[in-house]
Amino acid sequence: ETGVTQSPTHLIKTRGQQVTLRCSSQSGHNTVSWYQQALGQGPQFIFQYYREEENGRGNFPPRFSGLQFPNYSSELNVNALELDDSALYLCASSWRGGGRGRTDTQYFGPGTRLTVL
């Protein structure tokens, strides 16, 4: 069984640039959630993707956007980077049944450390 993988591991960008982070879900999982973890804080929910559509968003501006692909992998895109976007970005995958089925436990990848200068 393959776990959740993320790329790249580390990234350095300058203010105003755009960044794309990638996530491959654990085998058998169909739902991907993204979280931002600032230093000394718990992860904050950005959004979740299910069936290639955004399914719930946290308190993040529209310059944070995402995609989910037919193989359930996902991308997180951040435009117009700000200094406060510097954080660890975590991807988590889970299984969600059809209709209003419950979302199972989320399993996290190792994260991408983004530094904005």
Provide the minimum distance between the beta carbon of 45 and other proteins in the complex, in angstroms, as a whole number.
Answer: 5
Nearer to other proteins, 4 or 19 (CB): 4
Written as six digits, the tokens of 15 are 């203010």
φ, ψ of residue 109 to 5 degrees: the values are: -85, 180
Provide the minimum distance between the beta carbon of 16 and other proteins in the complex, in angstroms, as a whole number.
Answer: 28
φ, ψ of residue 88 to 5 degrees: the values are: -95, 125
| Cα–Cα distances in angstroms (integers) from residue 18 to residues 64, 79, 81, 104, in the given order | 10, 4, 6, 32
Nearer to other proteins, 14 or 86 (CB): 86
Provide the minimum distance between the beta carbon of 65 and other proteins in the complex, in angstroms, as a whole number.
Answer: 16
Q: In the window 22-81, what residues touch other proteins (CB under 8 A)? A: 31, 33, 35, 40-45, 48, 50, 55-58
DSSP 37-65: E-TTS--EEEEEEETTEEEEE-S--TTEE
Interface contacts to other proteins, rule CB under 8 A = 4, 6, 31, 33, 35, 40-45, 48, 50, 55-58, 90, 92, 94, 96, 100, 102-103, 105-111
